[in-house]
Structure 1
Amino acid sequence: MVNINSYRVIDAHIHLDLYDYEEQERIIESLEESSVEGLVSVSFHLESCMKNFEISKRNPRIRSAFGFHPEQSLVSEAELDKLISFIRRNNRDMVAIGEVGLPYYTRMENPSLLIEPYIECLKSFIQLSSELRKPIVLHSVYDDAPVVCDLLERESVERAHFHWFKGDAKTIQRMQANGYYISVTPDLLYEKEIQKLVNSYPLSQMMVETDGPWRFEGPFTGKMTHPVFIHKVVEKISTIKRTPLREVYEQLYINTENFFKCTW
């Protein structure tokens, strides 16, 4: 059993704005006792960006990423321009572009959904990442991942974070070679697919996350997702990688600060 008071972690991907206010306060107030040094709160759309911006002002442990989540209907060109203008204006107050990507799960439910407009939207954010020299946080799994790799390579964007990634071995090798990062959620404790990914992916290109308020199964069933869950994720990574726990904690922490070019 890991003693969480001995190590510090960073939640590299959480939707803090999607928790209700009391839950947000409960999480923020418990970060110190949970040995959680910081959070990267990613955004869903313009309103979400604005909420995360305000949350980050309340506590220095919270850092914001601004973007447009792909698993929703696209907004008009005018609305997208407003979002991009917001990102440019508040560039210094964000650590990344995100969450952006392609709508894999929406397409599974609606196969007739046209992917091309989503690709064009993603291109705008990848170009913005290159222009502002900010890393990009990606929602890109399975068949979408090679498409996103093509777009990143075309714009020479190297600081890319594929959160909660799932995909084929060839794409995983390509991501490793390009220096892209992945992050691992609490489902590592019970999902064989994610355990296999952790076994094959370099620890030096890995971070940990909750993707809260998304809820998990296994030992987390029925519990509000809290960044403290990450300690169990790190413990599982240590077991899979057969690497000392202290070394895994230290490497994941360094990876996160280096990727976001941010210290907590």
Structure 2
Amino acid sequence: MKAIDAHIHLDKYPEDERELIINSLGENQVEALICVSMDLASCKENLRLFENCPRIHPAFGYHPEQPLPSDAELDKLLNWISRHKEKMVAIGEVGLPYYMRTDSKNAHFSYEGYIELLEQFILLAKKLNKPVILHAVYDDAPIACGLLEKHSIEKAHFHWFKGDRKTVERMIANGYHVSFTPDILYEKETREVAELYPLQLMMAETDGPWPFEERFSGIMTQPAMVLDVVKELALIKGVPVEQAGSIFHANTKRFYKLKDIF
């Protein structure tokens, strides 16, 4: 069963762990990685990794759970992305800063700036005809949906999604994809989303190097864990594992327009 890790921060691993991951992809049946970026430096590193490994497919963006970039920094990033559009599969990771916004230490948090930033990335994705990879959970998700609808964006991938039933139904109606991490094995709210979402709009991810709990506690997060995600989703959806794996694999290849390499 071939698998694709639909969302990983490969550039954020220590170099020795990164090399271990890349060198073990084949034996672990992982055909490809969608490597998302945090900022311009991250974009450049993911581009370098892509140029040295055909299994790596970079996405370029600015992660929302950090201070806003200056105007000059943003212009530099947007121009850089536009110049390297042929090397990327998507705009990402972009979105809204739920965890920063809800942190009690951020009493005077300026939310509007992040909404404006997300809209700029959505407009860039539309201009470049690329999908958008979103970090937008809980009550941030309806705002992200509104921006996507406003600009008629059809190809949106909500990673590690958590949210209410109404938003889930809205996302399904719009044909937005979601991906699930290893927390599907133990997080009730993640499992509830999986029960509602159709298989044809699902993908599997690790969000590595983010660590996971229970059976994954103390273990380095690596792309091979997407196979555990596939098995659990197959159980939840009541389909054979091989069928689920084939569907998730096809969904991810189609969404990101990945070519057959291996």
Q: Are 2:64 and 1:85 equivalent residues in the alignment?
A: no
Residue 259 of structure 1 and its aligned partner are, at CA, apart by 0.7
| Local SS of the residue matching 2:57 | strand
Deviation string, structure 1 residues 10-31 (Cα, Å, up to 9, x no partner): 0000000000111110000000
Gaps of 5+ in 1: 1-6
RMSD: 0.7
The whole-number CA distance in structure 1 between the counterparts of 2:210 and 2:6 is 14
The whole-number CA distance in structure 2 between the counterparts of 1:183 and 1:53 is 23
The whole-number CA distance in structure 1 between the counterparts of 2:144 and 2:101 is 16
Gaps of 5+ in 2: none
Residue 246 of structure 1 and its aligned partner are, at CA, apart by 1.2
Among 26, 33, 37, the alignment partner of 2:31 is 37
The whole-number CA distance in structure 2 between the counterparts of 1:95 and 1:260 is 6
The whole-number CA distance in structure 2 between the counterparts of 1:186 and 1:203 is 17
Q: Are 2:105 and 1:98 equivalent residues in the alignment?
A: no
Q: Are 2:182 and 1:161 equivalent residues in the alignment?
A: no
Letter in 2 for 1:177: A
The whole-number CA distance in structure 2 between the counterparts of 1:229 and 1:150 is 33
Among 5, 8, 11, the alignment partner of 1:17 is 11
Q: Are 2:213 and 1:217 equivalent residues in the alignment?
A: yes
Stretch of structure 1 that moved more, 201-210 or 254-263: 254-263
Q: Are 2:41 and 1:58 equivalent residues in the alignment?
A: no
Deviation string, structure 1 residues 72-96 (Cα, Å, up to 9, x no partner): 0011111001000111000000000
Letter in 1 for 2:207: D
Deviation string, structure 1 residues 150-197 (Cα, Å, up to 9, x no partner): 100011011000000000100000000000000000000111111111
The whole-number CA distance in structure 1 between the counterparts of 2:11 and 2:20 is 13
Q: Are 2:109 and 1:113 equivalent residues in the alignment?
A: yes
Match of 1:4 in 2: none
Among 118, 127, 139, the alignment partner of 2:135 is 139
Letter in 2 for 1:237: L
Q: Are 2:247 and 1:251 equivalent residues in the alignment?
A: yes
| Local SS of the residue matching 1:143 | helix
Among 107, 125, 128, the alignment partner of 1:129 is 125
Within a 5 Å distance, the mapping from 1:174-253 to structure 2 comes to 174-253=170-249
Q: Are 2:175 and 1:173 equivalent residues in the alignment?
A: no
Among 42, 45, 54, the alignment partner of 1:48 is 42
Residue 111 of structure 1 and its aligned partner are, at CA, apart by 4.1
Deviation string, structure 1 residues 67-122 (Cα, Å, up to 9, x no partner): 00000001111100100011100000000000000000001112421110011111
Letter in 1 for 2:42: S
The whole-number CA distance in structure 2 between the counterparts of 1:206 and 1:77 is 35
Letter in 1 for 2:55: R
Letter in 2 for 1:97: I
| Local SS of the residue matching 1:183 | strand
Moved over 6 A (4+): none
The whole-number CA distance in structure 2 between the counterparts of 1:218 and 1:10 is 23
